[in-house]
Amino acid sequence: MTSRKSVLVLGGSSDIGRAAARAFAKAGYDVALAGRDVAALEPDAADLRARYDVEVGLHKFDVLDTASFESFIGALPALPEIVISIVGLLGVQADAESDLAHATAIMRSNYEGPALILGLFAERFLARGSGTIVGVSSVAGDRGRASNYVYGSAKAGFSAFLSGLRARASRGGVHVVTVKPGFVRTRMTEGMKLIGPLTVEAPVVGDAILRAVENKTDVVYVSGKWRLVMLIIKTLPEAVFKKLKF
């Protein structure tokens, strides 16, 4: 057993998950990766071990299987110091407008599942009196847009959950970070038209998460430009906003 700090990454096989795992491993943390397909996580585990000489554990986790959450946490070899949820599903807005199953999957993957699992961790962290919870939400949750409001509304719910949890947990020594990455060049956004100057690569998000945890930041817009963009978007009057095409 090492006495090193540990981080658990839920959604470990996503590009941002991998980047976050690398950032923490580089900083000397032992890492646990959790995802639906454990075998698919093996190469990432080997990568972290080879690069940073840290301990890496793998765990099966499905964000839609809320019934398994308690036993998932119970089966972890130890309660981590930090838990990061990067789980999410962008989905296809046009499909979600008529396909209830698809809309439900988007809502559950971006809100219900992440909020419930982080809520369970929060209880255990509060009982211990320490810990950090990181939720990767989205600028899309700052205001519903015609082009992706199913996803956006779920992220809005998740952001609200995190801010409420932060208010409560901070009194018990537990810190909650909300990350709003903006456009990131990942598998999720492949083929989408992203605005160059507002787009970052996954490692930038990974480093930003590490910094936010170490500096105890509450809400991180990964690129400072987004904070401004979203401030403008949030303050546009509804009458104007509904006419905008985006």
* Site residues for another protein per CB under 8 A: 26, 43-44, 46-47, 50-53, 187, 190
Report the nearest approach of another protein to the CB of residue 140 (Å).
Answer: 23
**Distance between CA atoms of residues 242 and 143, nearest Å:** 11
30 or 44: CB nearest another protein: 44
**Distance between CA atoms of residues 66 and 64, nearest Å:** 6
79 or 204: CB nearest another protein: 204
Task: Give yes or no for a contact between 7 and 29, defined as CB atoms under 8 angstroms apart.
Answer: yes
Residue type, 192: M
Report the nearest approach of another protein to the CB of residue 76 (Å).
Answer: 25
50 or 239: CB nearest another protein: 50
The residues, ordered by sequence, that sit 6+ positions from 31 with a Cβ below 8 Å of its Cβ are 6, 7, 8, 9, 21, 24, 25, 48, 54, 55, 56, 57
16 or 139: CB nearest another protein: 16
> Rounded to the nearest 5°, which phi and psi values hold at 80?
-70, 165
88 or 157: CB nearest another protein: 88
The residues, ordered by sequence, that sit 6+ positions from 56 with a Cβ below 8 Å of its Cβ are 25, 30, 31, 32, 33, 45, 48, 49
Report the nearest approach of another protein to the CB of residue 142 (Å).
Answer: 27
Where in the sequence numbering do the catalytic residues fall? Answer: 151
Report the nearest approach of another protein to the CB of residue 15 (Å).
Answer: 8
Task: Give yes or no for a contact between 131 and 174, defined as CB atoms under 8 angstroms apart.
Answer: yes
Report the nearest approach of another protein to the CB of residue 229 (Å).
Answer: 19
**Distance between CA atoms of residues 174 and 172, nearest Å:** 6
SS3 98: coil
Place of tokens 């987004």: 226
